[in-house]
Structure 1
Amino acid sequence: MAGEAAEAGALVLFSGGQDSATCLAWALDRFPHVETLGFDYGQRHRVELDRREALRRGVTALDPGWRRRLGEDHTLSLAALGAISDTALTRDSAIAFARDGLPNTFVPGRNLAFLTFAAALAYRRGLRHIVGGMCETDFSGYPDCRDDTIKALQVALNLGMERRFVLHTPLMWIDKAQTWALAEALGGRPLVDLIVEESHTCYLGERGERHDWGYGCGTCPACDLRAKGFARYLAARAD
């Protein structure tokens, strides 16, 4: 793409999880051209990357307009990030809280690296908008999910690349129940069903057991957050 059409295009950080799938639908609903980007950093739950293609196919089947707008998919290897990280997401270790109060699932620098590489790719692809699923409401205390962090990084990226990127975080101020509701507002129950069936959130990478909210171990923090959010979403729909 080139010119104004490309400038209006978006790049979505697309892991294959619930949040990024919702963000993909959000972007497809707003921008004329949308590309996706996934990162392989040696994550313990790498199975999430395997879900991306099914989710992309699924969203294009829901809406002809979305099918026309969805462009290329990209995957970047950030093996160095996994190599320097001693966390429960990059090592086979129990999930717990560190002395500083942060869960040991926090991968230092992850979102900073993701957004920096996303901006570099967007620069090459001529895309102005970058969409991520960072959330300060259900964020486990991760400092790189905070709104202040994202805003500061947007300034740094624009200064460092002489561009006017816009970092969008549509989930920043909503919880998991509201994220499920947003998916329904964007694509109806078919989108919710697609996210339940095809996305992956479980930190342990478990896809053996199917729950009403999707696949996962059912006990890790990511599964717990997703399950409780889905229950609140269903309860709100029933009212």
Structure 2
Amino acid sequence: MTTPQQAHCARTALVLFSGGQDSTACLAWALDRFAHVETLGFDYGQRHRIELSCRQTVRAELAAQFPQWAAKLGEDHVLDLSLLGQISDTALTAERAIEMAANGLPNTFVPGRNLLFLSFAATLAYRRGASVLVGGMCETDYSGYPDCRDNTLKALQVALSLGLDTPMTLETPLMFLTKAQTWQLTEQMGGAALNELIIEHTHTCYLGERKQRHDWGWGCGHCPACALRATGWQQYRSTP
């Protein structure tokens, strides 16, 4: 008889993988739990699209440094969602200063981004025989984005499962973790080697800056994404 744990490990997962710290943590988390894991990236005209070129390096390094995960790592997919960039007016899709908007959200918020990402991911997962979507959304350390909230994603999981007429599970392992706890999680899964991989090869900076290397990785050092990553690293390093 198959146990629930065995059934869980036999499933196929599709990870929304941008090439950043959070999605790399989610990819490692999925590789640690599922029999087969594929990755999906999106090209939506993002200002920091250098992350797209980091994705393949991260995948290759994970496979090379963690042979127990290499056999589980399947195909990578990239979808062209340039239309999202065309209809957005944000600091992530245009050369604009990053600031707070009148609605109280930072102008890095791309309306509907995660809703679209997960809808397209579910469509691809259905075709690829995957029943689990894994994303790095988090409502603990985030910028107030409403499509990162747990309630939003629970509702979307129901809608996707009903719309596809097949169970589709949305896993968000970082949902209630701080950035410091995310560093701790990756250390638990892959030790210092995984955290060093994240520092050296992932990309988070909203401005696409990869000329300055800090203790926590590459970036401008002052955009909201860099500030959050740096603060999390400092808190992680100061934890006994």
Residue in structure 2 matched with residue 107 of structure 1 by the alignment: 110
Structure 2 residue ranges without an equivalent (≥5): 1-6
In the aligned structure 2, how far is the partner of 1:163 from the partner of 1:194?
A: 36
Q: Is structure 2 residue 239 aligned with structure 1 residue 217?
A: no
Residue in structure 1 matched with residue 188 of structure 2 by the alignment: 185
Match 2:51 to one of 48, 55, 59: 48
Shift of 1:226: 0.2
Residue in structure 1 matched with residue 23 of structure 2 by the alignment: 20
In the aligned structure 2, how far is the partner of 1:171 from the partner of 1:81?
A: 25
In the aligned structure 1, how far is the partner of 2:172 from the partner of 2:143?
A: 17
The amino acid of 2:29's aligned partner reads W
Maintained 8 Å contact 1:12/1:27: yes
In the aligned structure 2, how far is the partner of 1:175 from the partner of 1:59?
A: 23
Could you list the per-position Cα deviations for residues 59-97 of structure 1 after superposition, in whole angstroms to 9, with x for gaps in the alignment? 112222200000000000001100000000001000000
Match 1:73 to one of 67, 76, 91: 76
In the aligned structure 1, how far is the partner of 2:177 from the partner of 2:9?
A: 29
Q: Is structure 2 residue 136 aligned with structure 1 residue 133?
A: yes
Residue in structure 1 matched with residue 167 of structure 2 by the alignment: 164
In the aligned structure 1, how far is the partner of 2:8 from the partner of 2:90?
A: 41
The amino acid of 1:199's aligned partner reads T
In the aligned structure 2, how far is the partner of 1:55 from the partner of 1:85?
A: 28
Q: Percent identity among equivalent residues?
A: 65
TM-score, structure 1 as length reference: 0.96
Residue in structure 2 matched with residue 36 of structure 1 by the alignment: 39
The amino acid of 2:88's aligned partner reads S
In the aligned structure 1, how far is the partner of 2:91 from the partner of 2:166?
A: 36
Residue in structure 2 matched with residue 90 of structure 1 by the alignment: 93
Residue in structure 2 matched with residue 199 of structure 1 by the alignment: 202
In the aligned structure 2, how far is the partner of 1:203 from the partner of 1:146?
A: 21
In the aligned structure 2, how far is the partner of 1:64 from the partner of 1:221?
A: 34
In the aligned structure 2, how far is the partner of 1:168 from the partner of 1:182?
A: 15
SS at match of 2:76: strand
Could you list the per-position Cα deviations for residues 26-83 of structure 1 after superposition, in whole angstroms to 9, with x for gaps in the alignment? 0000000000000000000000111011100111122222000000000000011000
Shift of 1:6: 10
Maintained 8 Å contact 1:6/1:127: no
Maintained 8 Å contact 2:8/2:34: no
TM-score, structure 2 as length reference: 0.96
Shift of 1:7: 7.1
Maintained 8 Å contact 2:220/2:226: yes
In the aligned structure 2, how far is the partner of 1:113 from the partner of 1:194?
A: 29
In the aligned structure 1, how far is the partner of 2:218 from the partner of 2:227?
A: 12
Maintained 8 Å contact 2:57/2:201: yes
In the aligned structure 1, how far is the partner of 2:152 from the partner of 2:8?
A: 29
Shift of 1:139: 1.4
In the aligned structure 2, how far is the partner of 1:111 from the partner of 1:86?
A: 16
Q: How large is the RMSD of aligned CA atoms in angstroms?
A: 1.3
